[in-house]
Structure 1
Amino acid sequence: METRETSDGPEGPQGLICASFNQDTTSLSVGTKAGYRLFSVTSVEKMDCIHEGAECPDVYIVERLFSSSLVVVVSLSMPRRMNVYHFKKGTEICNYSYSNNILSVRLNRQRLVVCLEESVYIHNIKDMKLLKTLLNTPSNPTGLCALSVNHGNSYLAYPGSATVGEIIVYDANNLSTMTMIPAHDSPLAALTFNASGTKLASASERGTVIRVFTIPEGQRLFEFRRGMKRYVSISSLSFSADAQFLCASSNTETVHIFKLEVHSPSREEESPTWSAYVGKMFSAASTYLPTQVSDMMHQDRAFATVRLNMFGLKNVCALATVQKLPRLLVASSDGHLYIYNVDPQDGGECVLVRKHRLFETGEEPVEPEEEAESEEGLPQPPNQSYAATVALSSTPPSSSALTGYSEDGGAQKGDVIPEHEFAEAPVCLDDENEFPPVSNQSN
């Protein structure tokens, strides 16, 4: 899923300014002082640089549309202008200028959304025409918004208030407001949809509670507590592709992974335990206790965690299936992509299996003592995670799987779809052989 992080300035390695994963977490885009880079993240062992663009410097927004050749770029030198490029051809498809600085851009197969501090612009992605302008939206200084990526819907979520955590859910296909969700008491800090657009996760500026709601109804499904010791700034939220897990990263050294599971009451009936009995007592008590107290009783802790070897650096996280196994990807403003194995059965501490540089060639192998440490600070034996165990016991991956994603084949790969093809069938961009649904027109 698409997530973005932006550093506070060009102090990172070689001027790393921003990073974002594309909609299906198959590639990573980074903005730098020199331009932008697109990487494949479909292999653990190798991370190919798909493209390096130098059309404009100081890129602070770069978003790729799935595995197509369409990429949207915004530069610090011209923060009010959005440039849409066909990077395989090295041509500009179009550009748009806005009344104020562009704070974020979101893409799916139907819509392109541009968020300013007090307005939102919705474009039709096949021809880039402006369909709707939402003016005088509540002050949104970080450009916080989320766009669902499922082919059948285009739900847009953005803050409905500058003082409390209200979420407006807008239908960007039918251009109508769907619902308002009173999600948090304090202003919003993070939003993300699951892949099908049926769930929305949110966090507030306090960063202690993460909630998941049904879409489009807006009913609360889950509530997870990240911690109570301190307020933190949550920088990214991301669902796994099957929406069974949700990860959250912040300015602390810990990434939390929560499991979205509903505990069946029938199991408790079959094998009653003391904890189940106490749980039932709490549930009964919650019907007459104050809301804040009863909410606390229904919050779950993290299913799995990652301890980063950094503190205070901005990062963006995503859950992905890489080479058929569940992984957590963390792109950090220290100039690296970290890949962790995730145990989907038992959770616990995730194991670091690869560390890639975003600016130099090659990867940094993980030494055994770097993979994991116990609470006492002692190294854990390598290859003890669920994913590593499965990988060792299964058939070795083919050479094509190890080399990862490539866009070298096919003379027509990356071409723009001709206008007359739009009426024949919906555009699908599920794999790298598909083309961006835009007409080659400039504004």
Structure 2
Amino acid sequence: MASKAGKGLSAIVPGVFLSIFIILIFQSNAAFAKSAYLTSFMAKYPAAASSKLNTCNLCHGSGGTSTFNPFGQAVRTVSGADITARITAVEALDSDADGFSNKTEIAALTFPGDPADKPAGGTPPPGDTTPPTVSSTSPAGNQANVATNAAVTATFSEAVDPATVTTTTFTLRGGTAAVAGTVSLGGNTATFRPSGSLAFGTTYTATITTGVKDLAGNTLAATSSWSFTTGAAPDMTPPGVSATDPADNQAGVELSATITATFSEAINPATMTPDTFVLRVGANQVTGTVSANGATATFTPAAPLFDNAAYTVTLTTGIKDLAGNALPVEYSTNFNTVAASESVFPDPTGTGGDAAGGGGCAVAGRSGTGGSLHEMAGSFGLLILAALGMAARRRMARREK
């Protein structure tokens, strides 16, 4: 018999310990929950510490069941980890709909989640009857050039019930198309965040309906709507070269010429430099200055160009328009300067005639008032030959006599 009893006891003991362990865990979790909420609650409302409110019935059903009463449910719906802030957020609400705000019931030491437990007298005070209004918005009404990634906000004249601020009561439309997004409430400000970027150059209308209520249950005085317009699409078109002077392959360009380039749009002057607007003769870069005005850039050489020379103009991809778009490809053009021209020495008689008119001795040479040394020598040589010829004729005439 003793052995049978021992066996029976050994079978019962583990089950008892398991049951005790489960009960301890449950009580520990319950105690933690009670401690977390009630500690914060009693710290905020010290007078309630020695009242019936210092029980689980504050937030739960009769007897502290796991079911939340209206007050407990209201506290749960407020986001955030700070329990005191969550309790404060529902003070103005009448969670149990008995005509008294939660704050009034707590002050009277009655349960804010039990409609049957009311402050003495049972008649609720007049309370707040002033409806909320929209005091400011962002973007402002009729604002232009709004960024396409902007959020839309509305600030109310007083705190509003978070449960009444939704995508149904706060909407945004572009024309007749509804804009998808999310709505949040922070303090007295509601924010609508579009799911994607808004369209460029489009008018949008935001609307707050009378479904929004303050903490006393007063609805928005009237539907509030305002419109704004997003900015134009950014310039994504790169500039192009529409003309140059001298033109490509132009010949006979003056030695004093400046070089200009005209673009398809205004150019950022800071990007026009001798490194982006380059003039070369052969492999040598020509020294000069560059200026820009609107869509035209000018290269001014530091010295006259060489005669009868081939020049190359290069416009690099470092050139950008006012929106920052670069010239897509390097642009090059060529031209040739004027060749050396013929010049005529002055008539020794001072008549200034030419060879054809018999007014002087014409000698081929470079343009200007004088020729090269060999050209001058040639002129004097002709004069000497003429003099020798005249002397020979005189000798012959004397012999004949």
TM-score (norm 2): 0.18
Q: Which has the higher helix share?
A: 2
Q: Which has the higher strand share?
A: 1
| Structure (1 or 2) with the larger CA radius of gyration | 2
TM-score (norm 1): 0.17
